């Protein structure tokens, strides 16, 4: 039997059968089998594309990962009536990308005797989501918020974001991590407190304008960034600087923009890193079990600061592991670290908050064994989320390439593998293998030759002259 070439020749049941295989919801398809094709999601995807049943904008990766693509709709408890440190007199800045919808961290800088106090404020999500509650179980099942080019599937109900997002209301409840520095930016003491803050929302570009104008606290935060980065690099921290893009879908239009790198982005990242270090030190001192983030030392040293060096350096890094006791995070150059600044977006950050809040309230927290169980489940679920995001971005990038077949792109050889090379198009953050004799580091001009959308493959041709 020959498979129908015209979609009208397929019955509704046959179309559904093939689509289930393409979406990863079935393992078999009689239509595909009788067409003497391999019964795989990729082959079924190709079948649907060729017959015009699916178009290039149909993406199946989140479904194949069995990710829940619905908005959580669970009842939200009221915020507890509890004592909080009033920090509304401090200027707090929730700095994020333009259009961010879930602001969950902010920073303040306070002058103290002999130095400065950095405050990293984080939305107090654990005030509403207690361990083993229905909200906690739902967040654990997702592991992380799913960010797709056309929409966001939050790890927590949208009502939680609307209630606790920093800067969305005149004041916000927060869990605030503080680090006291001396005049030379040496860290002295750390603390964690439940607070009330007043946050101003800023984009990175708006914050950069204030830094360029010499406004405080941005100038002093810049000094903190330089000092902290230097200290971490002295302890072996690695800097990986590879192109990043944001892929958005507006109707049928695919938009790919390079991620802006104003210095304020680096400053905020450094403050968040310091907040994670301080949370880990605080918890370790009080013997609080957390999902501490650790990382083994790099497998080798890579020198240089060009794109191929950063590409090679990233490959030397071991995978970050989470465990109930602290250990060094070599990639960051820290003796202890815990991800603590995104409890709306990452489940293990929420667990950190639940544990810190239990200690502050002098209540029993989770045991090390319970932490380990949550790590296993959250990593599995969040891993599927991250993979779906990565594959979806690549899918839309390749779809955009097919719409611009004549366009010539600047590319660079970042690695050689025998007769082939890994070529990176920085403007798209797109890498692929290519047959070329060009050496590592060589700049090329390339054009799309062929795209295999179901298998997320692309063949490039070199344009000479």
176 phi, psi to nearest 5 deg: -110, 130
CATH code for the part of the protein at 7-54: 1.10.10.10
Q: What is the pLDDT of residues 200-218, one digit of tens each?
A: 999 999 999 999 999 999 9
Q: What is the pLDDT of residues 392-432, one digit of tens each?
A: 999 999 999 999 999 999 999 999 988 899 999 999 999 99
The mean pLDDT of 260-277, rounded to a whole number, is 96
Q: Which of 5-19, 162-176, 416-430 has the lowest mean pLDDT?
A: 5-19
- Tokens (6 digits) for 38: 């391999």
Q: Give the 3-state secondary structure of residue 107.
A: strand
The mean pLDDT of 117-128, rounded to a whole number, is 98
Please give the Cα distance from 67 to 120 (Å, whole number).
32
The pLDDT value recorded for residue 245 is 96
The pLDDT value recorded for residue 330 is 95
Q: What is the pLDDT of residues 35-48, one digit of tens each?
A: 999 999 999 999 99
Q: What is the pLDDT of residues 97-113, one digit of tens each?
A: 887 888 999 999 999 99
32 burial (CB, 10 Å; 0-12 / 13-18 / 19+) is buried
The pLDDT value recorded for residue 359 is 97
Residue 249 pLDDT level (bands cut at 50, 70, 90): very high
Q: What is the pLDDT of residues 362-375, one digit of tens each?
A: 999 999 999 999 99
Percent of the chain with pLDDT over 90: 93
DSSP 8-state assignment for residue 334: B
Q: Is the pLDDT of residue 3 over 80?
A: no
The pLDDT value recorded for residue 2 is 45
The pLDDT value recorded for residue 261 is 87
The pLDDT value recorded for residue 1 is 36
The pLDDT value recorded for residue 5 is 55
Burial 303-313, CB ≥16 within 10 A → b, else e? eeeebbbbbbb
Looking at 77-171, which runs of residues are DSSP E strands?
85-86, 92-96, 105-112, 115-123, 146-147, 152-153
**Domain-by-domain residue ranges, the chain?**
7-54, 85-395, 405-462
What integer best gives the mean pLDDT of the chain?
Answer: 95
If you compute the radius of gyration of the chain from its CA atoms, what whole number of angstroms results?
25
Q: Is the pLDDT of residue 7 over 60?
A: no
The pLDDT value recorded for residue 4 is 52
360 phi, psi to nearest 5 deg: -65, -35
CATH superfamily for 405-462 is Nucleic acid-binding proteins (2.40.50.140)
Q: Is the pLDDT of residue 8 over 80?
A: no
348 phi, psi to nearest 5 deg: -65, -30
């Amino acid at each position: 039997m020959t498979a129908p070439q015209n979609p009208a020749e397929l019955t509704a049941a046959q179309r559904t059968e093939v689509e289930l295989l393409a979406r990863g919801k079935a393992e078999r398809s009689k239509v595909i089998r009788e067409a003497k094709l391999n019964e795989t999601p990729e082959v079924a995807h190709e079948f649907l594309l060729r017959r015009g049943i699916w178009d290039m904008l149909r993406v199946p990766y989140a479904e194949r990962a069995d990710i829940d693509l619905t908005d959580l709709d669970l009842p939200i408890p009221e915020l507890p009536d509890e004592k909080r440190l009033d920090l509304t007199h401090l200027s707090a800045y929730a700095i994020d990308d333009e259009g961010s919808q879930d602001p969950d961290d902010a920073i303040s800088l306070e002058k103290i005797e002999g130095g400065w106090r950095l405050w990293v404020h984080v939305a107090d999500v654990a005030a509403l989501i207690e361990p083993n509650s229905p909200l906690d179980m739902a967040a654990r099942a997702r592991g992380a918020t799913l960010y797709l080019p056309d929409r966001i599937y939050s790890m927590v109900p949208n009502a939680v974001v609307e209630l606790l997002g920093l800067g969305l209301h005149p004041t916000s409840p927060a869990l605030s991590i503080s680090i006291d520095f001396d005049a030379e930016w040496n860290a002295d003491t750390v603390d964690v407190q439940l607070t009330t803050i007043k946050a101003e929302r800023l984009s990175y570009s708006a914050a950069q304008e204030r830094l360029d104008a010499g406004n405080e606290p941005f100038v002093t935060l810049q000094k903190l960034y330089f000092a902290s980065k230097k200290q971490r690099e002295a302890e072996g921290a690695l800097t990986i600087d590879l192109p990043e893009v944001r892929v958005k879908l507006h109707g049928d239009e695919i938009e790919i923009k390079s991620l802006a790198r104003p210095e304020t982005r680096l400053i905020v990242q450094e403050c968040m890193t310091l907040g994670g270090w301080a949370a880990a030190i605080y918890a370790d001192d009080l013997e609080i079990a957390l999902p501490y983030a650790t990382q083994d030392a790099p497998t080798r040293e890579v020198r240089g600061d060009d794109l191929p060096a950063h590409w090679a350096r990233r490959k030397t890094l071991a995978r970050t592991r989470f465990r109930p006791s602290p250990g060094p995070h070599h990639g960051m150059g820290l003796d202890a670290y815990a991800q603590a600044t995104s409890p709306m977006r990452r489940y293990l950050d929420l667990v950190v908050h639940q544990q810190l809040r239990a200690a502050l309230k002098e209540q029993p927290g989770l045991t090390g064994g319970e932490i380990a169980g949550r790590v296993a489940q959250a990593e599995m679920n969040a891993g599927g989320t991250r993979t779906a995001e990565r594959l979806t971005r690549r899918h839309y990038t390749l779809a955009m390439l097919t719409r611009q077949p004549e366009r010539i792109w600047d590319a660079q050889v970042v690695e050689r593998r025998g007769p082939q090379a890994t070529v990176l198009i920085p403007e798209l953050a797109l890498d692929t293998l290519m047959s070329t004799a060009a050496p590592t580091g060589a700049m090329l001009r390339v054009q799309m030759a062929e795209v295999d959308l179901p298998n997320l493959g692309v063949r490039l041709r070199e344009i000479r002259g």
